[in-house]
Amino acid sequence: MILAILSGFIIAAMIPFLSKLVKGKGAILMPFLPLLLFVYFLGYLPQISNGDTVDLIYQWVPSIGINLAFHLDGLSLLFALMITGIGALVFFYTVSYLKGHVYLDRFYGYLSMFMASMLGLVLSDNIITLFIFWELTSISSFFLIGFNNEDPKSRKSALLALSITGMGGLFLLVGMILLGAVGGSYSFQELLSQRSLILEHSSYGWIIGLLFLGAFTKSAQFPFHFWLPGAMKAPTPVSTYLHSATMVKAGIYLLARFTPLLGSTPWWNTTLIIVGAVTMVYAALHSVLRIDMKGILAYSTIAALGILVFLIGLGTEEALLAASVFILVHALYKATLFLVTGIVDHETGTRDVTALGGLRKVMMPVAIAAGLAALANAGTPPFLGFIGKDLIYEATLHFGDWAYVLTTAAILTNICLLCAGLLAGFKPFAGSLPARFEKAHLPHPTMWVPPLILAGLGLLFGLFPGLIDQTLIQPVYSSMSGNAVQQHIQLWHGFNLILGLSVLTLTLGVVLYLQLKPSERLFGTTLKFEWLSPQSIAALLGRLFTKFAGLWTGFFQNGYLRNYVITILAFLTILLGLRLYQGVSLVIDASKLTELTIYEVIVVIIMFVSIIFTVFSRSRLVAVASLGVIGYSICLIFLFYSAPDLAMTQFSIDTLTVILFVLVIYNLPRYNTFSSKSIRLRDGVLSIFFGTLIAVLTLEVLSEPLNRETSIFYAESSYLLAKGKNVVNVILVDFRGFDTMVEITVLVIAAIGVFSLLKLRLKSIEKE
C-alpha cells in the first residue's frame, strides 16, 4: 500500500526527466496512474464492506512515535476512491484542456504530488504524518492555484490560499501534539481507547479549538472561506479536483475522522452546528448573486462544505449517514459542473452566465452532463442528490428543540444551491444560441466523457442505492460513529413531511431561478458590503501587520553594522546587569585564583597597549594590526593554560582576519572620524561595561561548584571508545561528530552566501 500512496510523489519526482514525453504524445499515459490506483483501492472494497479494516505500519521515526502508519476503513476508502477516481477523470480531461501548454509537465507533476498527499492524508493513522500530508496538500494547492504564474492575480490568490490554509495547518499541528501529549500516543487507533481520558482532560477545549481552526481554514468555513473563490484562478481541472471534490473536503474528513474520538460533546456539536449553519446560509446566498460560473460554483461549494460541517455537528445517526451520502453526492455533481464550466470556458472564452445561452445546440453531450448534474444538485428524484437531501432534512427535523430553526436554515441553503446549480448547469445551455457562440463546438471526447461519467454515476447510484449502501456508505458511517447503522438509504420513503419539504425546496428553488435575473448590477450591490466581509478585514489586518513589520525592521535592521553591535551589546548588558543586580551575590574567592606569573603580566601589558593603539590610532592598518596583536596575546594565554588546540585555531583565525581586513582596507576612503565625541564616549562606556560584566560573570562562574562529570567522561573514554588521545579532536570528529557535520555545512552556506552576494552584485554592475 505504501507504494500506492507514494507513487504520486515518485512520478512527480520523475517528471523533470520525462518532460518531453509528458508534453508530447506521452500525456495520455499520465491518467493511468490514478486509474490504476482507483482499481487498486476498489479491490479493497469487498474487505471493507465486510466491516474489516486494513492496517499497515512502516517504522519511520519510532523514537518520537512518528510512523508511516496507514489505516484503511470505510471513511478512508470513500475518500481514496474519490481521490483516485475523480483524479483519473481530471487527468484525462487535462490531456485536452491543457494540450500543448508549455508547463503541462509541471502541471502533471503538481497534480500527482497533490494526489499522493491527499491519499496519504486520508489513509494516515498517525496524526503527525496526517499533519505532514495535510501540509503537503496545501503546498501542492499553492503551486496549482498559481499555475498561471505570469498573472499577478493568480499569484496573489495562491499566496492567500497558502497563508490561510498554512496558518490553519500550524494550529492543527499544535492541536495534534497536544492531543498526543494528553493521550500518550500519536496513533489514532491507540488514542481511541483513551477517549474518556481525553474528554475529561483540561486541554480538551484547546485540542478541539485548534483542530477546528485547521479544519475550518482548509474547508473554507466562515470566516475563513474567502480564499476559496480566489483559488478559482487556477485552471479548471484544479478547481474541480482540489477545490471542490477533494482537498477542501480534507477538513470535513478531519472532523469526520475525529468524531468518534473527540465528538459528541456539547462544545464539539454546538460549534460545528453554528459555524456550519452560518457558512452554508452565507455562501448559499452569495452563490446566487454571482455571474461568473466558477464564482457561482465556488460559493455553492463553500455552502456544501458548510452543510457537511453542520451535519457532522448534529452528530445524530441520521446526520452522520446524511453526511456520508452527501460527501459522495456533492463530489459527483460539483465535479461535473466544474468540468462543464471548463469546457464552456475553453470553447466560448467566457464564463459569464448573463452572456451564455443555447449551447446545447453545439455541444449536446456536455449539456446532458450539465443537466444531469444540475438535477442531482437540485435533489430531484431519482438522483442520489434526492436521497442526500432527504437525509439532511430527516437529520434536522429530528433534532429536538432547534429542529425548526435548523430545518429552515437547511431549506434556505438548499433553495439557493438549487438555483445556483441551475444557473451554472442549465442556463448556459438553455434558450437561444447567441450569434457569437455559433462557432463553438464539441471538444475532444477526453473532455466531455469525464463529466458525463460523473453525472451518470449520480443517476445510477440514485436509481440503485443498494449499489453503495451496504458496500460503502455503511462502512463510512461506522467509521464515523463507531457503531453499525440501523437505517438503510433508499430512494422512496413514502408520502411524509420530508417529501413535502423536498417538494417545497424544489418549487421555491425553481421560482427563484425564474425570477432572478443575474446581472452586473445585482452583483455590484453585494460588492457594496464588501468592506464588512472577513476578506476585507483580513486584508486590513494584513496591511497593518506589514506596516508594523516595516517600522520594526526599519528600526532594528537599519543596515549599519555599528547599530547592530550596539543593540546586541546594550541588550545583553542590561539583561545581565539586571540579573546580577537582582539575585546573585557576587563572591569572588581570591584564594581560588592561581598566582600571576611574570609571563601573564607581560602578555596583559601587551594587550593593554594594543587596545590603546586600536582605539586611538589614526591609521586603519595600525588599528587592524593592533587588533591582531590582541588576538595573538589571547592565543598565548590559551597556551599558558594548556589549551594548544584552541590556541592553534585562534592563531590561524586571527591571521586570516587580519588578512581579510587588510584586503578590504585598501578599498576604503581615507581615514576620517565621523562620529562625534559624545557618540565615541557612549560606545566606549558601553564596551567597558560589557567587558566588565563578562569578566565578573566569568569569575562568578568559577566560584560555582564545578560539575566535572562530562569532562571526566570525555577524558576517560576518548581512547577507549574512539581510539584517540586528543580529547578535543575526538569530541569534534567522534562524540559530537554530528554537530561538526552541521557546522561545516553552515560554513559552506556562508561561503556560498558571500560568493553569490559579491559575484551577483558584480555582474549587475558590469551590465550597467
Binding region for other proteins (CB under 8 A): 644-645, 648-649, 652-653, 655-656, 659-660, 663-664, 666-667, 721-726, 728-730, 732-734, 737-738, 740-741, 744-745, 747-748, 750-752, 754-755, 758-759, 761-762
For other proteins, the closer of residues 616 and 719 by Cβ is 719
70 Cβ contact list (under 8 Å, min separation 6): 1, 2, 5, 54, 55, 56, 57, 123, 124, 125
Q: 376 near 458, Cβ under 8 Å? A: yes
The three cell numbers locating residue 604: 596583559
Nearest to 279 by CA among 320, 248, 236, 238: 248
For other proteins, the closer of residues 270 and 729 by Cβ is 729
For other proteins, the closer of residues 652 and 703 by Cβ is 652
For other proteins, the closer of residues 438 and 743 by Cβ is 743
What does residue 68 show for φ and ψ, rounded to 5 degrees? -80, 80
For other proteins, the closer of residues 517 and 723 by Cβ is 723
3-state secondary structure of 442: coil
626 Cβ contact list (under 8 Å, min separation 6): 610, 611, 613, 614, 617
For other proteins, the closer of residues 35 and 646 by Cβ is 646
For other proteins, the closer of residues 436 and 761 by Cβ is 761
Nearest to 428 by CA among 557, 299, 292, 241: 292
Chain length of the chain: 768
Half-sphere exposure of 432 (CA within 13 A, CB side): 3
* Alpha-carbon gap, residue 492 to 380, rounded angstroms: 12
The three cell numbers locating residue 723: 581510539
Distance in Å, CB of 625 to other proteins, minimum:
15
Distance in Å, CB of 614 to other proteins, minimum:
22
Question: Which residues, listed in sequence order, are joined to residue 187 by a DSSP beta bridge?
Answer: 126
Where does 557-643 have alpha helices with state H? 561-582, 598-616, 620-640
3-state secondary structure of 361: helix
27 Cβ contact list (under 8 Å, min separation 6): 95, 99, 104, 108
Distance in Å, CB of 68 to other proteins, minimum:
20
Q: Kindly tell me the burial class for residue 281, based on how many C-beta atoms sit within 10 Å of its own C-beta (0-12, 13-18, 19 or more).
A: buried
The DSSP 8-state label assigned to residue 42 in this structure reads H
* Alpha-carbon gap, residue 392 to 576, rounded angstroms: 65
Distance in Å, CB of 40 to other proteins, minimum:
33
The three cell numbers locating residue 286: 452569495
Distance in Å, CB of 748 to other proteins, minimum:
5
For other proteins, the closer of residues 159 and 665 by Cβ is 665
Nearest to 303 by CA among 326, 271, 269: 326
Question: Which residues, listed in sequence order, are joined to residue 57 by a DSSP beta bridge?
Answer: 69
Distance in Å, CB of 752 to other proteins, minimum:
8
Cis preceding linkage at 260, omega within 30: no
* Alpha-carbon gap, residue 37 to 62, rounded angstroms: 28
Residue corresponding to grid cell 448534529: 314
Distance in Å, CB of 728 to other proteins, minimum:
7
For other proteins, the closer of residues 584 and 742 by Cβ is 742
Torsion of CA 80, 86, 87, 88, to 10 degrees: 110
Distances (CA, A) of 421 to 132, 377, 393, 412, 603: 35, 6, 19, 14, 88
Task: Tell me the pairing of strands 66-72 and 54-61.
Answer: antiparallel
Nearest to 434 by CA among 340, 346, 354: 354
Distance in Å, CB of 744 to other proteins, minimum:
4
Q: 441 near 347, Cβ under 8 Å? A: yes
Distance in Å, CB of 738 to other proteins, minimum:
6
Question: Which residues, listed in sequence order, are joined to residue 55 by a DSSP beta bridge?
Answer: 71
For other proteins, the closer of residues 604 and 660 by Cβ is 660
For other proteins, the closer of residues 44 and 638 by Cβ is 638
Distance in Å, CB of 271 to other proteins, minimum:
46
Distance in Å, CB of 750 to other proteins, minimum:
7
Distance in Å, CB of 650 to other proteins, minimum:
10
For other proteins, the closer of residues 206 and 651 by Cβ is 651
Distance in Å, CB of 483 to other proteins, minimum:
46
Distances (CA, A) of 609 to 589, 626, 694: 28, 9, 21
For other proteins, the closer of residues 151 and 743 by Cβ is 743
Distance in Å, CB of 652 to other proteins, minimum:
4
**What is the CB neighbour count within 10 angstroms for residue 744?**
10
For other proteins, the closer of residues 499 and 732 by Cβ is 732
Distance in Å, CB of 737 to other proteins, minimum:
5
Nearest to 288 by CA among 172, 167, 418: 418
Helices then strands, each counted (H, E), the chain: 33, 2
Distance in Å, CB of 754 to other proteins, minimum:
5
654 Cβ contact list (under 8 Å, min separation 6): 628, 631, 632, 635
Distance in Å, CB of 736 to other proteins, minimum:
10
* Alpha-carbon gap, residue 540 to 346, rounded angstroms: 36
For other proteins, the closer of residues 681 and 748 by Cβ is 748
